[in-house]
Amino acid sequence: MPTMTETCYAKGQKVILVTSQITNGKWLCKFSIPGSSHLDNGPHGQNSSKVYKTEWEARTNAFQRARLLLGEPQDLTHGFGPEKI
Q: Is 45 helix (H, G, I), strand (E, B) or coil?
A: helix
> Can you tell me the distance from the alpha carbon of 41 to that of 57, in angstroms, rounded to the nearest whole number?
17
> Can you tell me the distance from the alpha carbon of 34 to that of 50, in angstroms, rounded to the nearest whole number?
22
- The string of pLDDT tens digits covering residues 65-84 is 898 888 855 554 444 444 44
So what's the pLDDT on residue 27?
93
> Can you tell me the distance from the alpha carbon of 71 to that of 17, in angstroms, rounded to the nearest whole number?
18
- The string of pLDDT tens digits covering residues 19-59 is 999 878 899 999 999 887 666 655 444 454 578 999 999 99
Is the confidence at residue 9, as pLDDT, over 50? yes
So what's the pLDDT on residue 69?
86
- 56, 63 contact by CB (below 8 A): no
So what's the pLDDT on residue 84?
40
> Can you tell me the distance from the alpha carbon of 57 to that of 17, in angstroms, rounded to the nearest whole number?
12
